[in-house]
Chain A
């Protein structure tokens, strides 16, 4: 059991082609102009998550307590989408989105990876993040620093 390599989930690719993921606040053709709620959950080395994971699972998730709440942070409360879908970089052929940094304060736990998922759509997964080892925080702050928004760097890019 382990956290798989950082990757976009296979099911996410199907979901974006099926209209199952909305990172934007407007222009949604299928439904109301409502941005989906995305969450980021933390996992220990006992988790089995990878690009083949299709939905959020509590198995192997960091235990509740010590500054962590089961399910993780949500974009409609303690986390946010900082860049809705655009293709304004160089080259303009790449579309991207970005999230804010995710932080847990007054935290005491260890985590090996994270899962970003869509809680507005049956907890379907977006991507797996592998931290490259166990990261431990003790009475401190645990921060996942997201990359710069832009072509070649953003957390989710389609070129």
Chain B
């Protein structure tokens, strides 16, 4: 038998503005690493720790990129 499946999507909405660095980082992290539920618990723990580290790193650099863009805009005006 062949099984066909549809994956889960996540909906993100904002009010009066775009996504925050944290939201962009969450989306990017989800594209980079997927932690499956069928792996050995030790592997799952390691993957989750790695995922958290990626997320923190992306938030940091996205925030820096945001600040750099704002500074560039200020210099142009």
CA distance A135 to B34 in the complex (A): 25
Task: Report A-chain residues with C-beta under 8 Å of the C-beta of B8.
Answer: 6, 147
Chain B proximity of A91: nearest CB distance (Å): 11
Q: Which of B7, B10, B16 contacts A157 (CB 8 A)?
A: B7
- Cβ-defined contact, A148 with B34, below 8 A: yes
Q: Does B71 contact A (CB under 8 A)?
A: no
Can you list 25 A-B contacts with CB-CB less than 8 angstroms, sorted by A residue number? Answer: A6-B6, A8-B5, A8-B6, A135-B13, A136-B13, A137-B15, A138-B16, A140-B16, A141-B14, A141-B17, A141-B19, A142-B12, A145-B12, A147-B7, A147-B34, A152-B34, A153-B34, A155-B7, A155-B9, A156-B4, A156-B6, A158-B2, A158-B3, A158-B5, A159-B5
A residues touching B (Cβ–Cβ < 8 Å)? Answer: 6-8, 13, 101, 105, 127, 129, 131-132, 135-150, 152-159
**Which B positions have Cβ atoms within 8 angstroms of A?**
2-19, 27, 30-34, 36, 38
